[in-house]
């Protein structure tokens, strides 16, 4: 888990001011891995009531561009955010309820799948496992 001091140091290293908004969003994403922007806003309002969904979108986009957050885009679902970055882990999504779990990459480095043929230099294999979670399952 990241502490507020960790986040402040990372923001400084990216030449971003340490604001209450950024800290509230980072803390909320840390508590709720794979949360939507709306869920992040609800959670962050517990500490910062005046926060708007629009400003949360702006903060999430900026922190994702900096690499402090990772954005996941599951099919047919709004984007999710998480603080677990830089380890090339994958995701499993329940096709019934939309719950998302982390799946450690068996290889660890990106890309972990080598295509049999392509003219491109591949950087990332974006793996999304789809299945049924234990709450929804048979
Ligand atoms: Zn489910
Ligand atoms: Zn994840
Ligand atoms: Zn992998």
The Cα 93–Cα 75 span in angstroms is 10
Surface-to-core class of residue 102, CB atoms within 10 Å of its CB (0-12 exposed, 13-18 middle, 19+ buried)? middle
Instruction: Identify the residue whose tokens are 């709450």.
Output: 135
Q: Which ligand is nearest to the CA of 98?
A: 1
State the pLDDT at residue 123.
Answer: 86
State the pLDDT at residue 124.
Answer: 85
Longest dimension (CA), the chain: 52
Span 53-71, pLDDT tens digits: 999 999 999 999 999 999 9
How far is the centre of ligand 2, averaged over its atoms, from the C-alpha of 28 (Å)?
Answer: 15
The Cα 60–Cα 62 span in angstroms is 5
For CA atoms 56, 57, 58, 60, give the dihedral sign.
positive
How far is the centre of ligand 2, averaged over its atoms, from the C-alpha of 46 (Å)?
Answer: 24
State the pLDDT at residue 4.
Answer: 94
How far is the centre of ligand 1, averaged over its atoms, from the C-alpha of 90 (Å)?
Answer: 17
Which domains are delineated in the chain? 4-81 (1.10.10.10), 87-138 (3.30.1490.190)
> pLDDT under 70 in the chain at which residues?
none
State the pLDDT at residue 137.
Answer: 83
Helix (H) or strand (E) holding 43: helix 37-44
How far is the centre of ligand 2, averaged over its atoms, from the C-alpha of 81 (Å)?
Answer: 8
Q: Which ligand is nearest to the CA of 137?
A: 1
């Amino acid at each position: 888990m990241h502490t507020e001091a960790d986040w402040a140091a990372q923001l400084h290293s990216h030449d971003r001011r340490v604001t209450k908004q950024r800290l509230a969003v980072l803390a909320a994403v840390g508590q709720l891995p794979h949360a939507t922007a709306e869920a992040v806003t609800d959670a962050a309002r517990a500490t910062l009531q005046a926060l708007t969904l629009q400003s949360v979108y702006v903060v999430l986009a900026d922190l994702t561009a900096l690499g402090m957050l990772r954005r996941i885009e599951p099919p047919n679902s709004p984007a999710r955010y998480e603080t677990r970055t830089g380890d090339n882990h994958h995701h499993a999504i329940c096709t019934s309820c939309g719950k998302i779990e982390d799946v450690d990459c068996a290889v660890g480095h990106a890309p972990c799948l080598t295509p049999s043929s392509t003219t491109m230099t591949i950087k990332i294999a974006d793996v999304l496992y789809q299945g049924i979670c234990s709450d929804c399952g048979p």
